[in-house]
């Protein structure tokens, strides 16, 4: 799946939330609408007519190709803006909206974002040993003067707004309050099944099926549709969010064109999908299974476990995932002769860490923050996996990325228009 398209699946849940989600984004309806418009505009800017300077164009392509074999770019002066003598390389990139589109420019040091939609990217590569490297990526994105606590509250409403409502009422609200967004989204997927079942304990159980419809994209976004055909339609996977006792709070199943989502809510909170309606804690586990067809091979993993911690500070709301257990890998016949020890390296020590957050304590506007840290050990099997990833990245570059950027820009534009007329 394209890097950002998986995130768009969450926007289907926004349609489920409909109007009740709006007041959670501010103290009043007007404030909420301003905050939502700013945030949607910030993301729309990011995908509008994207341009990159020469260094970042080269760096992005080579990083995409050699992520798992970073020795190939460690000494490449065309990639890095900082090459320290202590085995550290770094690239700083500034993102900002200009008259011609959204511009990414490499810098010796990128400034902290001051304007709506501006971004600061920091990518660092450190040599830990002869064949072992650490990647660190940090991105700040200005989303306007919304408060982090308001964003956190909005996400809470987003995932529980189906509570106590009928399926027909939700579908009616989608057409009434988000008509432009719904029309645009139907080019990518349809909510083909939506059922809310009241439980005897006062909770509500949501079962929703979302079906990808790449055929609807072909007229306007042909390359994007072709990419979905090649990489999404043959893939399958599952995500289960549970607590330490094994009680599940979210289940997402993916098979080819369909995603099935199950949630349960009570009193405005997600609760366990079965049994007593236990409120979801802030310390959880996420289990991931996934496989995709790459060339003539099917490649994937099962039982990839992440520890998830939800942060609920007044000025920072965030989600941190830490992967410290190697999954079971599924590779084609013929790769068993490759030494698999390097596959454990990203899960050793601190493991691989991914953090997504919103914070409002560092300037005049809030920041959406994305941080990733992982380690890789080069080997034959990592070169083989890197080659598969490079092929997928190469297929995405060019026309496919332009189509996806245009689709996302127009999506956020539709959402802004829909929010603007809510009374």
SS3 7: helix
- 211 sits in the region (left: phi over 0; alpha: psi -120 to 50; else beta) called beta
pLDDT at 6: 42
Q: Which of 189, 207, 195, 187 is nearest to 257 (CA)?
A: 189
pLDDT at 338: 65
Q: What's the average pLDDT block by block, 10 residues per block, for the chain (423 residues)?
A: 44 48 61 85 95 96 95 96 93 96 96 95 95 97 92 82 88 84 89 94 95 91 94 93 96 93 95 96 97 85 97 94 95 69 93 96 92 95 88 90 95 90 78
**Lookup result for tokens 């164009």:** 57
Cα angle 22, 23, 28; round to 5: 130
DSSP-derived secondary structure letter, 191? E
Cβ neighbours, 10 Å, residue 116:
17
Q: Which of 320, 340, 322, 321 is nearest to 330 (CA)?
A: 340
Q: Tell me how far apart the alpha carbons of residues 365 and 143 are, in angstroms, rounded to a whole number.
A: 7
Q: Tell me how far apart the alpha carbons of residues 101 and 51 are, in angstroms, rounded to a whole number.
A: 7
Domain that holds residue 256: 5-420
Q: Which two tokens stand for residue 228?
A: 């979905």
C-alpha R_g of the chain: 22
10 Å CB burial of residue 194 (0-12, 13-18, 19+) is buried
pLDDT at 9: 43
pLDDT at 24: 56
Q: Given the DSSP bridges, would you call strands 101-107 and 248-255 parallel, antiparallel or unpaired?
A: unpaired
Q: Which two tokens stand for residue 128?
A: 């830990």
What total number of domains does the chain contain? 1
Q: From residue 421, how far is each of 29, 92, 376, 401, 416 by CA, in Å?
A: 11, 39, 49, 31, 9
Q: Tell me how far apart the alpha carbons of residues 346 and 350 are, in angstroms, rounded to a whole number.
A: 9
DSSP 67-135: TT-GGGTTT-TTT-SEE-TTSEEEEEEEEEEETTEEEEEEESSPPPP-STT-EEEEEEEEE-SSSEEEE
pLDDT at 7: 44
pLDDT at 25: 56
* Total length of the chain: 423
Q: Which of 364, 344, 391, 395 is nearest to 115 (CA)?
A: 364
Residues 113, 332 contacting (CB under 8 angstroms)? no
């Amino acid at each position: 799946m394209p890097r950002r398209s998986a995130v768009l699946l969450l926007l289907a849940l926004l349609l489920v939330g409909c109007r009740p989600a709006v007041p959670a984004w501010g103290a009043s309806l007007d404030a909420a609408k301003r905050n939502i418009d700013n945030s949607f505009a910030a993301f729309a800017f990011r995908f509008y007519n994207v341009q990159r300077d020469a260094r970042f164009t080269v760096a992005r392509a080579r990083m995409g190709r050699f992520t798992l074999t970073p020795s190939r770019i460690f000494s490449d002066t065309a990639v890095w803006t900082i090459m320290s003598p202590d085995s550290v390389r770094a690239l700083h990139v500034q993102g900002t909206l200009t008259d011609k589109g959204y511009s990414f420019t490499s810098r010796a040091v990128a400034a902290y974002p001051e304007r709506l939609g501006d971004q600061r990217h920091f990518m660092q590569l450190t040599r830990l040993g002869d064949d072992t490297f650490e990647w660190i990526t940090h991105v700040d994105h200005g989303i306007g003067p919304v408060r982090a606590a308001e964003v956190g509250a909005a996400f809470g409403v987003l995932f529980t707004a189906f509570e106590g409502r009928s399926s027909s009422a939700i579908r009616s609200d989608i057409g009434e309050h988000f008509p432009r967004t719904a029309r645009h989204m139907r080019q990518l997927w349809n909510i083909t099944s939506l059922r809310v079942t009241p439980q005897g304990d006062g909770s509500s159980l949501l079962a929703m099926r979302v079906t990808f419809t790449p055929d609807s994209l072909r007229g306007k976004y042909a390359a994007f549709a072709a990419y979905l055909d090649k990489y999404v339609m043959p893939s399958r996977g599952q995500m289960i969010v549970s607590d330490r006792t094994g009680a599940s709070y979210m289940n997402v199943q993916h098979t080819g064109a369909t995603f099935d989502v199950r949630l349960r809510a009570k009193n405005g909170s997600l609760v366990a999908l079965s049994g007593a309606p236990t409120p979801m804690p802030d310390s959880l586990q996420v289990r991931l299974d996934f496989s995709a067809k790459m060339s003539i091979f099917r490649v994937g993993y099962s039982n990839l476990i992440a520890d998830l911690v939800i942060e609920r500070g007044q000025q920072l709301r965030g989600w941190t995932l830490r992967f410290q257990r190697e999954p079971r890998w599924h590779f084609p016949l013929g790769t068993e002769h490759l030494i698999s020890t390097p596959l454990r390296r990203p899960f050793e020590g601190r493991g691989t860490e991914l953090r997504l957050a919103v914070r409002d304590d560092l300037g005049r506007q809030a920041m959406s923050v994305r941080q990733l840290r992982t380690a890789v050990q080069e080997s034959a099997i990592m070169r083989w996996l890197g080659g598969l990833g490079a092929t997928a990245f190469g297929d995405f570059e060019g026309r496919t990325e332009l189509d996806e950027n245009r689709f996302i820009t127009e999506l956020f534009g539709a959402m802004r228009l829909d929010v603007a007329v809510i009374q």
